[in-house]
Amino acid sequence: MSTARPETPRPEPVEISLLPIGVRPGDAAQQDGGCGDACGCGAGDADDFAFDPLECGLDPELAELLAAAGLDPVQVEDIAHLAIEEDLDQGVDVTTVATVPEEAVATADLTAREAGTVAGLRVAEAVLSVVCTEEFEVERHVADGDRVVAGQVLLTVTARTRDLLTGERSALNLLGRLSGIATATRAWADALEGTGAKVRDTRKTTPGLRALEKFAVRCGGGVNHRMSLSDAALIKDNHVLAAGGVAEAFTAVRTALEEAGSAGTPIEVEVDRLDQIEPVLALGADLLLLDNFTPEETRQAVELVAGRATLESSGRLTLGNARAYAGTGVDYLAVGGLTHSAPVLDIGLDLRAGPEAEPLSARDAGEGA
């Protein structure tokens, strides 16, 4: 059964500046801020980014949009370059070069093939920008975090046909991956709506893509846990074993942080039994990770802690029992599956059928006449 495409106002085209492939950016910007306890995601205001758009090879407007979303434009540009360079492998797109005239220009729609929550549209633009051989135009129909339906156009791009086809797969790989994470997160956020609990991610992310994947979690209505091992301390069973006990591990971590001048760094401790909670609270833990507790055990833990620390449930969690855990009064539900198991959202790039488009230079000349 077909789904009617919703009415979408046609926005003004946005002109993206040339970015030759192989351009390398300057030093990465420092990120600041966060979304939740022990979060270092950098999703603060755009002003929090101490970067000069001129140091980034991306179009300044696109770089500002990425920064406003809590992403480092230089890092996104690096990822875009890596994706394209991996796909070309120091060569060319032999199929496209053989079948598409060099001067041909086309308009393409990036279209959702299924319903979901979109994330990574500006990242897809960045990928296309590193492969385009001259300026191109984009029309932005939706924003990251929007719910979309099957058949809905997300982004329209006009550029040289060869460039569109060469960058297609790399752009879609990232856009589909991030939108899949946002869609999975949205399902959890919807399940928890009306409760005091929030779903948040873990460090179970794709190497090199952590910042993007945690951004996708935010687009889906989730919040971020720590971005890196240095953002916060999380004492787990192996740390306890190595240190000789939970008290020993906690004391060692606290002492190390104080000596490093980082006494305010949050310390979270994993517990798997109710009788471990009071001793850990006495040590001064900021957060407790309740590992594999049942809903009833979680309720008892909430009553025992009585607001003295933030509580996070981990293990045994499913969409089916999410509200049962949230109803206990726990603060967070930690779900690694948001990033390590989310299916890709099916998004395609379709060239518009019709007469061959004129070169962009001719279009510009005509508009100015």
Structure tokens that stand for 8 in this block: 């979408």
Say if residue 13 is exposed, middle or buried (CB neighbours under 10 Å; 0-12, 13-18, 19+). Answer: middle
Rounded Cα gap, residues 257 and 46, in angstroms: 29
169 is catalytic: yes
Supply φ then ψ for residue 122, to 5 degrees. -70, -30
Active-site option among 140, 147, 169, 308: 169
Active-site option among 59, 77, 125, 270: 270
Active-site option among 37, 77, 291, 331: 291
Rounded Cα gap, residues 57 and 38, in angstroms: 32
200 is catalytic: no
If we measure between CA atoms, which residue out of 250, 256, 176, 189 comes closest to residue 201?
Answer: 189
Q: How far is CA 22 from CA 77, 303, 307, 347, 359, in A?
A: 11, 58, 53, 27, 24
Element spanning 160, H or E: strand 153-160
Spell out the alpha helix ranges (H) of the chain. Answer: 60-68, 73-88, 94-99, 121-131, 161-192, 210-219, 237-243, 246-259, 277-283, 295-305, 322-326, 337-340, 360-368
Structure tokens that stand for 235 in this block: 């004492």
Rounded Cα gap, residues 180 and 347, in angstroms: 10
Contact at 8 Å (CB) between 139 and 121? no
Structure tokens that stand for 154 in this block: 């997300």
Active-site option among 140, 147, 203, 204: 204
For CA atoms 274, 275, 280, 281, give the dihedral sign: positive
55 is catalytic: no
Pairing of strands 198-200, 332-334: parallel
198 is catalytic: no
Structure tokens that stand for 214 in this block: 């945690």
Rounded Cα gap, residues 201 and 26, in angstroms: 30
214 is catalytic: no
Active centre residues (catalytic): 169, 204, 236, 270, 291
